[in-house]
Amino acid sequence: MNEFQNDFQGNDVPVSKKEIQKLMKSSMLAALFVAGVFILFLFLFLLFCIFVWFR
């Protein structure tokens, strides 16, 4: 077994509270960004339907 496979065999790596908070913050910001992009495109599609498609 090589070193790369050994890292994913359940070895406990200490993670500080600050690192966990940073990871959670960055993942939440990424999720909010993706949701914002979806909402923006939904809004633009709604405007397209109202002002272009249904006229």
What's the CA gap between 50 and 55, in Å, rounded?
Answer: 7
Residue 1 has pLDDT above 70, yes or no: no
Structure-token pair, residue 48: 């397209």
What pTM was estimated for this model as a whole?
0.67
More confident site: 22 or 14? 22
Q: Mind listing the pLDDT tens digit for each residue in 15-41?
A: 899 999 999 999 999 999 999 999 999
| Spans of all domains in the chain | 16-53
- The H-assigned helical ranges of the chain are 3-6, 17-48
